[in-house]
Amino acid sequence: ENCKGWVTGNRGSELRRVEQETGTYMFMALDRRGDERLLIFAADPGTKTGVGGRMHAERLINEMVQEKLRDDGGSPRRGRSDSRRRSPSRPRSPSSRRP
């Protein structure tokens, strides 16, 4: 649940970035139980290690979730795109990441 905002980004910016990179279309929707799910659409199914398609988009989203879980655990930030910079009102420092 706490990864949802991280994955979607500000106004869906991270989803749009992954869509551009993979040639997919994605959005969040409620399932029958009312739980939110990420839907990934594309004609190209992609491959386990290839570039483009639904499988590539799924890998990128899973990497973002894993990074968020690592960051929440106090590990150093790794490899996030520049599109996720924080606003100037919330400067990042090593001490601000500690629990």
What values do phi and psi take at 65, rounded to 5?
Answer: -65, -45
* Residue 50 forms part of a structural domain: yes
Q: Which two tokens stand for residue 21?
A: 């990179």
Q: Does an H or E element contain 36, and which?
A: strand 36-41
pLDDT digits (tens, 9 = 90+) for 36-83: 999 999 999 999 999 999 999 999 999 999 998 988 875 444 444 444
* Residue 32 forms part of a structural domain: yes
Range of the domain at 11: 4-73
Look at residue 99 in the predicted model and tell me its pLDDT.
Answer: 46
* Residue 90 forms part of a structural domain: no
Q: Are 77 and 71 in contact (CB under 8 A)?
A: yes
* Residue 81 forms part of a structural domain: no
* Residue 22 forms part of a structural domain: yes
Look at residue 74 in the predicted model and tell me its pLDDT.
Answer: 53
Model confidence at 13, pLDDT cuts 50, 70, 90, reads very high
Q: Is the pLDDT at 88 greater than 50, yes or no?
A: no
What values do phi and psi take at 10, rounded to 5?
Answer: -65, 115
pLDDT digits (tens, 9 = 90+) for 29-39: 999 999 999 99
The total number of structural domains that make up the chain: 1
CATH number of the domain to which 18 belongs = 3.30.1370.10
More confident site: 85 or 29: 29
* Residue 54 forms part of a structural domain: yes
Task: Report the distance separating Cα 16 and Cα 61, nearest Å.
Answer: 12
